[in-house]
A and B are shown apart, each in its own frame.
Chain A
Amino acid sequence: MAMIEFQDVQKYYGSFHALKDINLKIEAGETVVLIGPSGSGKSTLIRTVNGLETIQKGKLIVNGQDLANKKTDINRIRKNVGMVFQHFNLYANKTVMENIMLAPRIVLHRKEDENRKIALELLDRVGLRSQAEKLPAQLSGGQQQRIAIARSLAMRPKCLLFDEPTSALDPEMIDDVLNVMKDIARDSDMTMLVVTHEMGFAREVANRVVFMDDGRILEDDSSEKFFDGEPSNERARQFLGKIITH
Chain B
Amino acid sequence: MISIFQNYGGELLTGLGQTLLCSIIALIFALIIGSAFAIMETMPNKAARIIARVYIEVFRNIPLLVITMFFYVVIPMYIVKISGFASGTIGLTLYSSAFIAETVRSGIQSVDPGQMEGARANGLSYWQSMRYIILPQAFRYVIPPLGNQFINLVKNSSVLAFVAGFDLMYQANVIASDSLKSMSTYLCVGLLYLVLTLPLSYYMRHLEKKLA
Contacts and interface: CB of A to CB of B under 8 A. Distances in A.
Given A85-B114, A89-B115, A106 B124 contact: yes
A78 B122 contact: yes
A229 to B, nearest CB: 35
A155 B123 contact: yes
Interface residues of A, number: 25
Given A82-B122, A106-B128, A89 B114 contact: yes
Interface in B86-141: 112, 114-115, 117-125, 128, 132-133, 136-137, 140
Interface in A115-136: none
Contacts of A93: 133, 136-137, 140
A78 B117 CA distance: 12
A92 B112 CA distance: 10
A91 B115 contact: yes
Nearest to A155: B123
A103 B122 contact: yes
A85 B116 CA distance: 12
A24 to B, nearest CB: 20
A91 B133 contact: yes
A75 B136 CA distance: 22
A152 interface: yes
Interface in A63-112: 75, 78-79, 82-83, 85, 87-94, 102-103, 106-108
Contacts, number: 64
Nearest to A83: B121
A97 to B, nearest CB: 14
Contact of A107 (B112, B114, B117, B128): B128
A152 B118 CA distance: 10
Contacts of B120: 52, 78
B124 A89 contact: no
B83 to A, nearest CB: 42
Interface string A133-154: 0000000000000001001100
Contacts of B115: 89, 91-92
Given A82-B122, A151-B122, A152-B122, A102 B117 contact: no
A50 B133 CA distance: 20
Given A87-B114, A93-B136, A93-B137, A107 B123 contact: yes
Contacts of B118: 85, 88-91, 148
B210 to A, nearest CB: 14
A87 B116 CA distance: 13
Contact of B121 (A82, A87, A94, A108): A82
Nearest to A154: B122
Lowest 3 CB-CB distances: which A-B pairs, in order? A89-B118, A83-B121, A89-B114
Interface of A: 50, 52, 75, 78-79, 82-83, 85, 87-94, 102-103, 106-108, 148, 151-152, 155
Given A89-B118, A91-B118, A108-B123, 10 more contacts: A78-B123, A85-B117, A92-B115, A92-B137, A94-B132, A94-B133, A107-B122, A148-B118, A155-B122, A155-B123
